[in-house]
Amino acid sequence: MIKNIIKTQYGLEGKGQYETYCTLKNLPTIDILKKRLISMSAFDIIFSEEEWLRVYTWRPNWDEKSSLAVVDNGGGDTMHIVFSKDGCIIKGFDHESELSPYAQEEFEVWKGIYEDVPKVLLNLLDDEAIEQDDVTFCIWQDNNNKQWQKGKVEIPEGCSDGSDYMLSRIFSAEDYVDWSKDYWEPKEELSIEDVEKIFDHQPITEEMIKKLNPDRNIKAAMEELKKINYPVEYSF
C-alpha cells in the first residue's frame, strides 16, 4: 500500500526507485551529516595512529571553497562527500555494483547518475583524488532545493547501486556504538554517553582519549584533531 502511495505522489516506479526514495528520506540534513562525519573522523583518529586503518577522514580545507569527507571501507567501496556554500554532493562507488563503470563492456559512467546534477556541485568532484568516474550513485542538495536529490537512474531488476548500504555507514550515535564494537574492538566497551559527547562536538580531553584508547599517543592525537578543527582541551 505505502509503495503505491509513494509511486503516485512522487512519480516513482519500480523497486529500485522506491528504495531510492527511502534512502533519500532517511538522510540527515547537511549540517547534521557534516557533524556526524567530523565526529566519526575524530573517533578514527583516537582509535588508530595508522591512517590506512581508518574508515572516516575529514579534510576541512579541501580547497578554498569546500570541505571533503571520505568514507573508505578498505574493501574497494568509497564515498566522497563535498561540502561548499552551494550545498553538498555525495559520490559513492560500490565496486561490486552492476552499475560500476568497470562492469560495462566499455568503461563509462552509468546513464543518469550525473546528468541532473547542478554544475556548481558537479564541479566539486573535478579532482583526480576524488576519481569522479568511479561512481555507482550520486546524491546532492543545493541551495535551490532543500531536499536530497538523485538522478533518473534506471537500475535493472535485482541490481543495486550500493547507496542503501553505503549511506547506512553514516551512523547515529546509537548505531556507532554497535559498529565500533566489531571494527575497533575497544578494550573498554564504548558507552552511548561517550559517543554522544563526541557526536555533540564537546571538547575532547586527555582523559577522554585515555579512556577510549589507553595506548594512543595523546599529543599526536590532539594535533590531528586540531587539524580537522575538532575542539580539544589540551596544552600543546
Domain-embedded: residue 91: yes
2 has a pLDDT exceeding 80: no
Whether residue 8 lies inside any domain: the answer is: no
The set of cell numbers assigned to 79 is 564515498
Is 9 among the domain residues? no
pLDDT at 21: 54
- Cell 579532482 belongs to which residue? 127
Using the predicted structure, report yes or no on whether residue 138 has a pLDDT greater than 90. yes
156 lies in a domain? yes
SS3 (DSSP) at 48: coil
Domain assignment present for residue 6? The answer is no
With a cut of 50, say whether residue 85 has pLDDT above it.
yes
* Total Cβ atoms within 10 A of residue 112: 15
DSSP assignments along 85-124, one per residue: TTEEEEEEE-TT-TTSGGGSSS--PPTTSSTTS-HHHHGG
The per-residue pLDDT for range 174-204, each reduced to its tens digit, is 999 999 999 999 988 899 999 999 999 999 9
Number of domains forming the structure of the chain: 1
Range of the domain at 87: 14-233
pLDDT of 1 over the 80 cut:
no
pLDDT band at 22 (very low <50, low <70, confident <90, very high): low
DSSP annotation of 214 reads: T
Flag whether 5 is in a domain: no
Is 7 domain-assigned?
A: no
The answer to whether the beta carbons of residues 135 and 97 sit under 8 Å apart is no
Whether 41 is covered by a domain: the verdict is yes
Q: What is the pLDDT of residues 150-171, one digit of tens each?
A: 999 999 999 999 999 999 999 9
Mean pLDDT of 227-236: 94
